[in-house]
Structure 1
Amino acid sequence: MQEFRFLIERNNQAYILAGEEALLTSIVNGAQPVVRFVIFDPPAVLVGYHQAVDQEVNIEEVRKRNWDIGRRPTGGGTIIMGPWQLGWEIYASNDVLGYTPENAIKYGAKGVIKTLEKLGIKASFRPKNDVEVNGRKISGIGAFSEGRYVAVTGTLLLDFDADAMISVLRLSSEKLRDKLAKDFKDRLTWINKELVKPIDMEELINIAKESFAEALEVKLLDSNYTELEKKSISELALKYSSPEWIFNLRKPLIGDDIRYTERKFPGGLVKVQIKLTGRNLIESIIITGDFFIEPRTAIYDLEARLKWSRIEDIEREVKEWFRNVSTIGITEEDLINLIKEVLK
């Protein structure tokens, strides 16, 4: 039976996210595969790699609560991580995790489902990246890769405060806030809501460790970071705590004539901002949202392709770009039509 290292980390968002990048790099360079459980302390509002903080987060409310804001190295939507939920991560070669990010996500879901089964909670996988209980989400999952190595990251809700979640999101009105709060309560569930007798985090960790070992068919050995991993995490934590990474990576366009639209696809919400020069030349374009693309930096390539492109060249540029990327639940026609819609 293959052996994986098992790590537990309770720390701030910058240190934990630095660990995600450092551990994947370490596995690529020959280190033993890893399952890591993490607890964010203090709580943190984390945007996905392709999101803009200004569009998604109520920054003033986050600061009032003395929470952190961070940017994940994975796609997906805005989440809140804190001591009330268990974060879990798997780092391994893709032959262990099914060769594609989609299959890797399903492997992670197996660990969550087994954990819940041991607690007497019946759960199932919901494409593209959720685990649900009676139609309500209890775990969200993301994945990113480097070559033939994959990192799968996810959450498992032990407890949840919907009102706190809503308060730190950027919303357009109190009416929308009230509706969203109701939607969250209708669409989400958590372990201690489903159980007659609540459990604590220590008990959840013990059950989840056993369950992930069974789901992956590996042996988990209590371990520590290597010296190289410690050094890398310390260095990367500077990046993940920097305003440049958190706030400026996907900053919205500014100006008087910014055209904007958004649309929800099976693969996530896509937001497009375009600034035109004249009638048919794209001066700049920003594409943000809670979608997944591999490689994750490929969206910059598409924006660069479309910058200073004529409107009639959009279809050709997007189709050429799609040849070298992998998306979940978003087709090239979806993206072409959305960009054309902005320009109308």
Structure 2
Amino acid sequence: MGTHWRLLDTGSISAARNMALDQVILNARSSNQVPNTVRFLQFSPHCVLVGYHQSVELEIEEHYCHEQGIEINRRITGGGNLYWDESQLGWEIYAPKNTPGIPQRLENMYRLMCEGVVVGLERLGVKAHFRPTNDIEVGGRKISGTGGTEMGDIFLYQGTLLTDFDVDTMLSALKLPIKKLEDKHVSSFKQRVTCLKEVLGYLPPIEEIKAALTAGISEVLGITLEPGALTETEQKSLDKEQIRFQSEEWIRGMRTIPQANDLRMAEHKTRGGLIRVSLRLDVDRQCIKSAFITGDFFAYPSRSIMDLEAALKNSSSQPAEIAKTVNQFFIDHQVSIPGVEADDFCQALCLACGKAGESSNAEEL
């Protein structure tokens, strides 16, 4: 796969700076200014992040976060809402999609990227496994969620390793369906995730964890990781990009739910994540006036969902026409969403079109 890659450890920094760094390194690698790169990242202060295709107002308990000093930001990658406390460790891989040995099929690429972390965890005495589509688990419980994005011919693949996790703060900071459930269901949810401290009975020093993951990634990808630093160009770009990633325009993503009396909402669960659809309809003309699609999936190219919304604007709300619009869009734009098909979006849209206009549904989403 090419032998010498750069290893970056950017330490504990703010959410905006970390998100800006994702973009900066991706830009630098896509213009061939830097080598293939593996980065370790941490957050300070603690924060919540929505995925690129999500809406802050649907996913985050904003009042609680402001009260607790929890920063709110948006990733350049898809996926779900996440809470990061200061103990968590993030890992990222930047490389060309045509790197020898890296599968072209996204779901196979996901497996390979995760395998490096699985081998790293074995060095810490943790028996972990890849769980499709994009999780790493220990004894059936999730210890790392992963996902990615791309720019041109370069991909960014990233994951979160749960070390010593504060589940209760996470439940308070994120809007999750389980909040409406009984305590026993909340307890069941907590049993779905685990962390290094729980698995091992103690928390290894962070440098030991990083060293193990470095060795695992190196072994699986067949590379040599050489500690490095940001280039002068990356550093200058970071200072500029951070301003954009601190802005409300980025954090909100201009992803605001349409306001109208004839708002229809629906959600559809797929293997690759949850699709949430909000539509403003002209019922008399059987027309979709505007569409708002969010979810915790990973779409390639990353702009696909916004472009799909544009394609649906003023289109027919009839099921056959929705299918024609969506399927043609997927073909024309070469859309790829692991675990999600064009038909899944058709189902979500048709479900929303068939619902009575009950704006109270927003509470349930």
How do 1:151-190 and structure 2 match up within 5 A? 151-171=156-176, 175-176=180-181, 178=183, 181-190=186-195
Q: Which residue of 2 aligns with 1:28?
A: 30
CA distance in 1, matches of 2:165, 2:44: 15
Report if the CA contact (8 A) 1:76-1:291 is conserved: yes
Shifted more, 208-217 versus 66-75: the winner is 208-217
Q: Pick from 77, 80, 83: which aligns with 1:77?
A: 80
- Encode CA deviations 1:179-218: one digit per residue, 9 max, x unaligned: 5632331100111101134312122122222222112211
Q: Pick from 327, 351, 356: which aligns with 1:319?
A: 327
Report if the CA contact (8 A) 2:271-2:339 is conserved: yes
- Encode CA deviations 1:249-306: one digit per residue, 9 max, x unaligned: 3221222221001121101000001111243011111010101110010111111111
How do 1:205-244 and structure 2 match up within 5 A? 205-244=210-249
Report if the CA contact (8 A) 1:101-1:150 is conserved: no
* Identity rate, percent: 37
1:42 aligns to 2:23 (yes or no): no
- Encode CA deviations 1:233-253: one digit per residue, 9 max, x unaligned: 111111211111112432212
Measured at CA, do residues 172 and 28 of structure 1 come closer, stay the same or move farther in structure 2, by a change above 3 Å? closer
Q: Pick from 332, 336, 341: which aligns with 2:346?
A: 336
CA distance in 1, matches of 2:182, 2:292: 26
Report if the CA contact (8 A) 1:94-1:100 is conserved: no
CA distance in 2, matches of 1:283, 1:108: 41
AA matched with 1:8: D
How do 1:262-341 and structure 2 match up within 5 A? 262-279=267-284, 280-312=286-318, 313-323=321-331, 324-341=334-351
Q: Which residue of 2 aligns with 1:7?
A: 8
Report if the CA contact (8 A) 1:21-1:73 is conserved: yes
CA distance in 2, matches of 1:2, 1:338: 45
CA distance in 1, matches of 2:50, 2:178: 21
AA matched with 1:322: F
Please give the root-mean-square deviation of Cα atoms over the aligned residues, in Å.
1.6
Report if the CA contact (8 A) 1:101-1:144 is conserved: no
CA distance in 2, matches of 1:81, 1:197: 20
Measured at CA, do residues 319 and 256 of structure 1 come closer, stay the same or move farther in structure 2, by a change above 3 Å? same
Q: Pick from 108, 112, 117: which aligns with 1:107?
A: 112
Q: Which residue of 1 aligns with 2:362?
A: none
Report if the CA contact (8 A) 1:16-1:38 is conserved: yes
SS at structure 2 position matched to 1:293? coil
Superposed displacement of residue 175, structure 1? 4.0
CA distance in 2, matches of 1:177, 1:81: 25
Report if the CA contact (8 A) 2:164-2:203 is conserved: no
Report if the CA contact (8 A) 1:45-1:69 is conserved: yes
AA matched with 1:62: C
Q: Which residue of 2 aligns with 1:256?
A: 261
AA matched with 1:54: E
Report if the CA contact (8 A) 1:101-1:145 is conserved: no
CA distance in 1, matches of 2:89, 2:179: 30
AA matched with 1:145: E
Measured at CA, do residues 102 and 238 of structure 1 come closer, stay the same or move farther in structure 2, by a change above 3 Å? farther
Superposed displacement of residue 232, structure 1? 1.5
CA distance in 1, matches of 2:202, 2:346: 51
Gaps of 5+ in 1: none
CA distance in 1, matches of 2:182, 2:258: 25
Shifted more, 223-232 versus 167-176: the winner is 167-176
Q: How many residues align?
A: 344
AA matched with 1:7: L
Shifted more, 300-309 versus 100-109: the winner is 100-109
SS at structure 1 position matched to 2:191? helix
Shifted more, 202-211 versus 62-71: the winner is 202-211
AA matched with 2:340: I
Q: Which residue of 1 aligns with 2:153?
A: 148
SS at structure 2 position matched to 1:88? strand
Gaps of 5+ in 2: 355-365
Q: TM-score, length-normalised on structure 1?
A: 0.95
CA distance in 2, matches of 1:210, 1:5: 14
SS at structure 2 position matched to 1:239? helix
AA matched with 1:287: I
Superposed displacement of residue 135, structure 1? 0.5
CA distance in 2, matches of 1:150, 1:272: 28
CA distance in 1, matches of 2:253, 2:259: 13
